[in-house]
Structure 1
Amino acid sequence: MPRMPRARRASRTPRTSRTPVTHTERSGHAPAGGRTGRTRLAAVGCALLIAASTACQAPGRTDAEARVRQAVDRLGEWETVSVAARVDAPADEIHAFLRHNHERGMGPAVSRTDALLLSRMETAFVFGADRPLKDLGGKDRIDTAAAVNFGNRDVAAYKSVGADFYVRANWTRLAHETGRSRETVVRAAELARSADSLPPSMAAARDMLEGRWVQMDPEEFDHFARAVGGKYGERAQRLANSVDILQSARAQHRVIGAVRRALDDHAVLRESGRADGAERVRVTLPARETADGLARALAPLEDRFDGIGFTWLERAPDRRITAELALRGGVLSGMTVDLAQFTGQTDAGETEEIPLTLSFAPGSAVSVKAPRGARWLDPQDVMAAVLYEELGSSRP
């Protein structure tokens, strides 16, 4: 990711009124819609960002540790940092990897379409505050934003700014990318085709269908899906709980602290040469011991965020795993970890590499400012739009 201009500070805005206002931003971005693959990749990306940002905070004992700590500190001098995450593997290998996980009880069944999406998907995350990230205290929350794209065409985005949560969607593009295999997405895409005929009283629903930013309550995810004929149930609740963690300063810093302690206790850093103009440093740590430490540290969050759970930590392999950091110009610029390390071999008996690659850069790839003019959207607004469309289509 190229170096980005210094981002302006994100404004802090209280929850906006539900009175409709004129919207001024528009795009083809969209919320992830609860899709399991996207949500899982986002969680992995955020966790590895924290790992990269905290792995070297203990006093350096080697030259590699000292350089990495300095590289992370330099990235933390910015008020916003962007991270691009992608899985660098063919769809067939991703599908075999996820199918193997499912057979071991480590994830849901995943279709060939899901694997193809993961092979083409890139997610851009932004973490921002009103001061340099390295200066944040235990009570300072971090604003976040993310956008998902397939082949450089953005289809999904969210922003968590202060206590407010915003989403926007290009439903037609989402339906195309998912092969029209998701009932909720397909129905929303159908509604979007006639959204411009909705009356002014349904302006919030029209904005949502036409790809404008809207503000909503993430606890209502399942109700929104039901309004257009879909149902996510527990998956929607897990997504809502994940957003709750994003918006909680206490939860953010407990996660950061847990990862920092686990890596301070177990991580070993060693130089591994240069490649593509960047210095490479290898991070090695025992997965099982690290997972046990994380589970103990994160236990207080499990009751509050019921539905997410940390049982996946219990399945960490009893082996050492590695990740490679890239330092460019004295700044942390990348991290690569082979996801296959966490589960072992494929059905064919040969170890397949499933590299998750993160690219770091100072600045904002996605604005973390609250979008101007975003209307408040209730599930009832979407239900009214659905009924309006059905009544209109039934007229002679």
Structure 2
Amino acid sequence: MPIIRKSLAAACCALLLAASAACDASEPADAESRVRGAVERLGEWEAVSVTARVDASADEVYAFLRRAQDGGTAPTRADAASLSRMEVSFTVGSDEPLKDTGDGDRLDSGLMVNFGGLDLAGYRSLGTDVYVRADWRRLDAEFGGGHATVSQAAGLARSADGLPPSLAPARDLFQGRWVQIDPEEFDHFARALGGKYGRRAQRLANSADLLQSPAAQHHVIDSVRRALDGHASFRDAGSRDGAEHVAVSLPAREVAGDLADALGPLEERFDGIGFAWLERAPDREVTVDLALRGGTLSKMTVDLGRFLGAEGGKGDGQDDRGPGVLPLTLSFAPGQAVPLRVPEGVRWLDPQDVMAAALYERLGASGS
């Protein structure tokens, strides 16, 4: 759905806002100075983790999605339930403190998506090696069978026990175990196959390029820093729950336009990803709440509705009130929430193994 893609992009903007606070500026205000120091404290570690989740019930998410819908497929209650249960953990690490890494340094990274406490999909990018896993059957159940690719993989998972030993890596993939892949091999195979599978494999290769390329990693961070530098204002927001809070305000439309210009060149490299929608952000301020514990950034909360028109109407009718409130919370911590190490017992997966497993399953089904 369009709303989910926009929400994820808004989350990235809010996340990198914290990084922008570490940029140099003349005579920063006290609140701004504390935020800069809190972000720099995270950079003293060799690994930092961020966990993202929507802080709302399934009913609240569903109401928000319905009001924010701007065409396309209508949201379902299953969509809302999945989004309310979803938690994404991301870890980035290096052999030295993150603040000491340069433009030529590759950063290891890992991501895991869980629903209701169950880890169902993830990746690890370690040096030049990429590892992936997904629990296809549980993902299919979580999505209510509404995602064609996941449902197809779940069908293959149900018959994976019957695959021959030569296709053990494909069996591991469909049974939810870690496998190692070479994204470039999937890229070459995609070009030969073409069609729908080819486009999906091409996107896999392009995404892995971003994960592994030091230039691409630092380009994204530096672009967002430049776009946000000078736009944000900081003010004290008191103390609660054992943390001091700082409110960071920024003009949504102005910052979004700068971000679209800064990130535009990436559209050519990543098929299906666009940033033009940022230029349609509402003309109002967006406030991000930052929580600092022990002088270190620990949490960030932003209302996604402010990026999508909430409170932007005239107030004289229900349809003028915008999509409402949907808080996105990002929690920061030193260390590895997603282990940045080679998974045990991992096998190498060739793209041909996946196609062979699919063909084997079809032949078995037709012969039964």
TM normalised by structure 2 equals 0.86
Q: Which moved more, 1:258-267 or 1:336-345?
A: 258-267
Distance 1:155 1:345 in 2: 32
Structure 2 unaligned regions, length at least 5: 312-317
Instruction: Verify: 1:65 aligned to 2:32, yes or no.
Output: yes
Partner in structure 1 of residue 329 of structure 2? 357
Partner in structure 2 of residue 389 of structure 1? 361
Structure-2 change in CA distance of 1:91 and 1:202 (3 Å):
same
Distance 1:180 1:299 in 2: 34
Letter aligned with residue 63 of structure 1: D
Distance 1:275 1:123 in 2: 25
What displacement does 1:296 show? Answer: 2.7
Partner in structure 2 of residue 340 of structure 1? 305
Distance 2:22 2:234 in 1: 9
Q: Out of 150, 156, 161, which is 2:115 matched to?
A: 150
Greater RCO structure (CA 8 Å; 6+ sep): 1
Matched-pair identity in %: 60
- For these two proteins, the number of residue pairs brought into alignment is 356
Q: The residue matched to 2:320 in structure 1 has which SS? A: coil
Distance 2:154 2:4 in 1: 19
What displacement does 1:167 show? Answer: 0.9
Q: Out of 374, 378, 391, which is 2:346 matched to?
A: 374
Partner in structure 2 of residue 289 of structure 1? 254
Q: Is the 8 A contact 1:287 1:319 kept in 2?
A: yes
Partner in structure 1 of residue 95 of structure 2? 130
TM normalised by structure 1 equals 0.80
Q: The residue matched to 1:85 in structure 2 has which SS? A: strand
Letter aligned with residue 320 of structure 2: G
Q: Out of 16, 19, 22, which is 1:50 matched to?
A: 16
Letter aligned with residue 334 of structure 1: K
Structure-2 change in CA distance of 1:239 and 1:385 (3 Å):
closer
Q: Is the 8 A contact 1:128 1:368 kept in 2?
A: yes
Distance 2:228 2:49 in 1: 22
Q: Which moved more, 1:332-341 or 1:178-187?
A: 178-187
Structure in which a larger fraction of residues adopt helix: 2
Q: The residue matched to 2:263 in structure 1 has which SS? A: helix
What displacement does 1:207 show? Answer: 0.9
Q: Is the 8 A contact 1:204 1:377 kept in 2?
A: yes
What displacement does 1:328 show? Answer: 0.8
Letter aligned with residue 162 of structure 1: G
Structure-2 change in CA distance of 1:45 and 1:289 (3 Å):
closer
Distance 1:169 1:36 in 2: 24
Q: Which moved more, 1:230-239 or 1:372-381?
A: 230-239
Spell out the pairing of 1:60-209 with structure 2 (5 A cutoff). 61-103=28-70, 109-209=74-174
What displacement does 1:363 show? Answer: 0.2
Q: The residue matched to 2:121 in structure 1 has which SS? A: strand
- 1:195-254 Cα deviation digits (max 9, x unpaired): 223211101101101211112345749x89xx9xx9578677556534432222222212
What displacement does 1:37 show? Answer: 8.1
Q: The residue matched to 1:391 in structure 2 has which SS? A: helix
Q: Is the 8 A contact 1:237 1:307 kept in 2?
A: no
- 1:113-138 Cα deviation digits (max 9, x unpaired): 22221111111111111211111112
Q: The residue matched to 1:309 in structure 2 has which SS? A: coil
Letter aligned with residue 58 of structure 1: D
What displacement does 1:189 show? Answer: 2.2
Q: Is the 8 A contact 2:172 2:178 kept in 1?
A: yes
Q: Which moved more, 1:195-204 or 1:185-194?
A: 185-194
Q: The residue matched to 1:266 in structure 2 has which SS? A: coil
Q: Which moved more, 1:233-242 or 1:283-292?
A: 233-242
Structure-2 change in CA distance of 1:240 and 1:317 (3 Å):
farther
Distance 1:232 1:358 in 2: 34
Distance 2:12 2:309 in 1: 23
Distance 1:273 1:37 in 2: 32
**Over aligned residue pairs, what C-alpha RMSD do you find?**
2.9
Structure 1 unaligned regions, length at least 5: 1-34
Structure-2 change in CA distance of 1:385 and 1:235 (3 Å):
closer
